[in-house]
Chain A
Amino acid sequence: GAGVSQSPSNKVTEKGKDVELRCDPISGHTALYWYRQSLGQGLEFLIYFQGNSAPDKSGLPSDRFSAERTGESVSTLTIQRTQQEDSAVYLCASSRRTGGSSYEQYFGPGTRLTVT
């Protein structure tokens, strides 16, 4: 079946502009995660959605970052007033559920964001 998809694959923006990144999770996956991966680094957790529960925003680095998800479908990550340090690959992952034994997270290909 279809995996996690993300768009755009690449985004170049000028410093100070807002950007919106999109994630389409695997159908039926109730949990959705956003991560940031800086060049040559590990994955930094940003935000987590589980069904209709309030999202866990504990990883968002500043109030310029926000994310939304409608039900159990598409999610968008918005970065306002982008800064050069926001340049990174933004990865989305989904999983069937977080309780019980279904922990596996499946990642999308990522969006490479470059702020000039």
Chain B
Amino acid sequence: GENVEQHPSTLSVQEGDSAVIKCTYSDSASNYFPWYKQELGKGPQLIIDIRSNVGEKKDQRIAVTLNKTAKHFSLHITETQPEDSAVYFCAARGNEKLTFGTGTRLTIIP
């Protein structure tokens, strides 16, 4: 089955700086890669996703890149703000199911 690894597990950045979270996946048949943001006491919220026929996607301060050959994808958050503090999960979809990474706790330092 699919295996997703996510790094780093924790990340602290100064407000206004950029944050990058990286994931690798094992199943070359995976074709959909969402990113979720989870705030304390809440369920994960989809923030951006990318399909395997696209190399990059951007939505305001958030972007995701995908390298199918290397089987890795990354989340980039620019001009970070205090409300970006949360746990972020990557996932890869293969065989009708999502396999999640173990999460990155992002802390924005004011």
Contacts and interface: CB of A to CB of B under 8 A. Distances in A.
Most central of B32, B89, B93, B96 by chain A CB within 10 Å? B96
A26 interface: no
Contacts, number: 51
B32 A103 contact: yes
Interface in B67-110: 89, 93, 96-103
Interface residues of B, number: 22
Given A105-B46, A108-B43, A41 B102 contact: yes
Contact of B98 (A4, A40, A50, A105): A105
A106 B36 CA distance: 10
A62 to B, nearest CB: 19
Contacts of A45: 97-99
Contacts of B42: 109-110
A91 B96 contact: no
Contact of B46 (A41, A98, A106): A106
Interface of A, helix, strand, loop or mixed by DSSP: loop
Contact of B44 (A56, A91, A103): A91
Nearest to B41: A109
A42 B46 contact: no
B43 A91 contact: yes
A42 B100 contact: yes
B28 interface: no
A83 to B, nearest CB: 23
A48 interface: yes
A107 interface: yes
14 contacts: A42-B100, A42-B101, A42-B103, A43-B89, A45-B99, A48-B96, A56-B96, A91-B43, A98-B96, A101-B51, A103-B49, A104-B49, A105-B98, A107-B45
Interface of B: 6, 32, 34, 36, 41-46, 49, 51, 89, 93, 96-103
Interface of A: 4, 33, 40-43, 45, 48, 50, 56, 59, 91, 93, 98, 101, 103-110
The 4 closest A-B pairs by CB, nearest first: A107-B43, A42-B102, A43-B100, A42-B100
